[in-house]
Amino acid sequence: MRRRPQAHTWNVAAAVVWLALAPMTAAHAQEGEPPTVAATETDVPASSPDFETRWLDSAGAFATPREAPRVDQLGKPPPQRRATKDQPGITILQIGDSHTAADFFTGELRRRLQALFGNGGAGYMTAGKPHAGVRSSTFRVTLSSGWTHTSLNRATDRSEFWLSGYNTITSGSGQTMSFDAESHVPFDAIEIETVRQPGGGTIDIKLDGRVESSYDLKSDKVEPVVIRLVPETVLTHFVKNIQIVTTSAGTTNIASVSVFNRRTGLTYNAVGFPGAQVSLLDKFDERVLTHDLQRIAPHIVVLAFGTNEGFQDNLDLSNYAETFERSVKRIQAILPNAAIVVLSPPDARRLAPQCKDKPAICKPTRIDASSTASTPPSESGECLWRTPPQLDRVREIQADIAKRLKLVYWNWASIMPEECGAHRWASASPPLMAKDHVHFTIEGYKKSASEFLNVLIPVIKELRARSNVVSNN
């Protein structure tokens, strides 16, 4: 019989909530059997026995305005990712700009790496549809009409935002947010980042159409909360649809939904922000960023910024170098055992404004590196695709920092033709780059992911070869 979680009193500014679910049936893999690609793609029967949802007396402290983050675990913890020499779990977190946000590049990496190392779930996903360039390649997200979005980029209070950098908000009853996968995805924990607050509403959380928990978001004060759904057994469970339904009027604020299979396999988390520069990391509240990074606990962090900085003609290179190095060291301080991979930007081109919608060519010369967006067409009247003036310098700075700090480094542009790389890829058949000469087609992202695997797989194998692969938390 389902019932609402009983009310608890917190003396802190946030909480981590744990919910336990009773066992599902034989369609799930036994402990010790890492999920295979075939098992993941096999359709699990939609009609499963009732979940017996029970409330565990457990809550974790996040932070008060003057306290460092902590987790007070008072009840039964969820099953931990099993770390063994034979098949340790690996978690990767990529943070970047639009190349990451679209989840085409990272989605292909996730698919291919999970085929090799086991399926660790879909990972961390931004809630809702806050931007056309933010998506998940595993789950399709749909919303009813009553939701709005807020962004860290435009916020005055950065403490309101989790790692996703977006909040999806509604105040009405009967509003829905759905995550739908083409096939069942393995999980041993589903986490929802939300907020309890004065005037908060109530929500039902459904898995494959069945209400597995109801949760009250009303509180006397603002309390960031992670609702964690955890199977009671050590079996691997599967889900195809996750739905959040508001059941009363009141504010509901959802930042992310994560699907983790922590015991084994590989999880590739993608957190991207269209138009972002690495300085975005400075906007996050220190406690919130620390909490999220330690909760995701990646063994590998991929930093994929640089395109937007390269398009900034007046970029202060000295300040940029300091910002990038500070961001790296900030992550190292939070995750001291994580391997950091610097992924520098691919080749990109742009046209002068007066050349928009006109035929344009690219001339194989390095002279264009000193041009600006306002440079007019050539004397012959040709419209030219030109390299943004700071793009090469951004790569040089990233490469230098990676070398000094002994980080793994990969130059995305190195797999493209040296001269007019973006234009040649855009002119290929099939096209590998979009018409804007900045973003890639799906085929271009797949080709890029295939090359990047040559960098990632050795790092993963080195981690797996250790006697114990432990969480960075």
pLDDT of residue 326: 97
Place of tokens 């973003």: 439
Closest CA to 217 of 18, 20, 74, 5: 5
Reported CATH class of domain 15-82+122-262: mainly beta
Q: Would you list the domain boundaries of the chain?
A: 15-82+122-262, 299-465
Report which secondary-structure segment, H or E, holds 225.
strand 223-231
Q: At CA 40, angle to CA 36 and CA 44, rounded to 5? A: 135
Split at pLDDT 50, 70, 90, the class of 375 is low
Give residue-wise pLDDT tens across range 233-279: 767 799 999 999 999 999 999 999 999 997 778 999 999 999 999 99
DSSP state of 375: P
Split at pLDDT 50, 70, 90, the class of 293 is very high
Closest CA to 4 of 50, 53, 51, 49: 53
CA distances from 8 to 4, 11, 15 (A): 12, 10, 10
pLDDT of residue 158: 81
DSSP state of 291: H
pLDDT at residue 305 greater than cutoff 70: yes
Judged by average pLDDT, the poorest of 12-26, 30-44, 100-114, 228-242 is: 30-44
* Rounded distance between C-alpha atoms, residue 416 and residue 346, angstroms: 8
Q: What share of the chain is helix, strand, coil (3-state, %, to 5)?
A: 25, 30, 45
Can the peptide bond before residue 186 be classed as cis, meaning omega within 30 degrees of 0?
no
Coil/strand/helix, residue 140:
strand
Q: Angle of helix 105-117 relative to helix 442-465, nearest 10 degrees?
A: 40
pLDDT at residue 336 greater than cutoff 90: yes
- 10 Å Cβ neighbour count for 25? 12
Amino acid at 208: D
Q: At CA 10, angle to CA 7 and CA 16, rounded to 5? A: 85
* Rounded distance between C-alpha atoms, residue 95 and residue 303, angstroms: 5
- 10 Å Cβ neighbour count for 408? 16
Q: Quick one: what percent of the chain has pLDDT higher than 90?
A: 66
CATH number of this structure's domain 299-465, picked from the four choices 3.40.50.1110, 3.90.470.20, 3.40.50.720, 3.40.50.11540: 3.40.50.1110
Split at pLDDT 50, 70, 90, the class of 140 is very high
Judged by average pLDDT, the poorest of 221-225, 248-252, 337-341 is: 221-225
Split at pLDDT 50, 70, 90, the class of 356 is confident
Give residue-wise pLDDT tens across range 25-61: 333 333 333 322 222 223 333 323 233 332 222 233 3
Report which secondary-structure segment, H or E, holds 61.
strand 54-61
User: Higher model confidence: residue 86 or residue 102?
Assistant: 102
Average pLDDT over residues 15-21: 46
Give residue-wise pLDDT tens across range 153-204: 887 778 889 999 999 999 999 999 999 999 999 999 999 999 999 999 999 9
pLDDT at residue 18 greater than cutoff 60: no
Judged by average pLDDT, the poorest of 58-72, 295-309, 327-341 is: 58-72
Give residue-wise pLDDT tens across range 446-458: 999 999 999 999 9
Closest CA to 319 of 370, 284, 277: 277
Judged by average pLDDT, the poorest of 212-216, 369-373, 424-428 is: 369-373
| Contact criterion met (CB below 8 Å) for 271 and 102 | no
431-438 CB contacts, 8 Å cutoff, 24+ apart: 437/348, 437/349, 437/350, 437/385, 438/307, 438/348, 438/349, 438/350
pLDDT of residue 380: 57
pLDDT at residue 459 greater than cutoff 50: yes
pLDDT at residue 7 greater than cutoff 60: no
Q: Quick one: what percent of the chain has pLDDT higher than 70?
A: 76
CA distances from 280 to 95, 158, 197 (A): 10, 11, 26
Place of tokens 């893999």: 29
User: Higher model confidence: residue 404 or residue 79?
Assistant: 404
Q: For 382-401, b where at least 16 C-beta lie within 10 A, e where not — what string?
A: ebbbbbbbbbbbbbebbbeb
* Rounded distance between C-alpha atoms, residue 473 and residue 461, angstroms: 21
What phi and psi, each to the nearest 5 degrees, are found at residue 193?
-90, 120
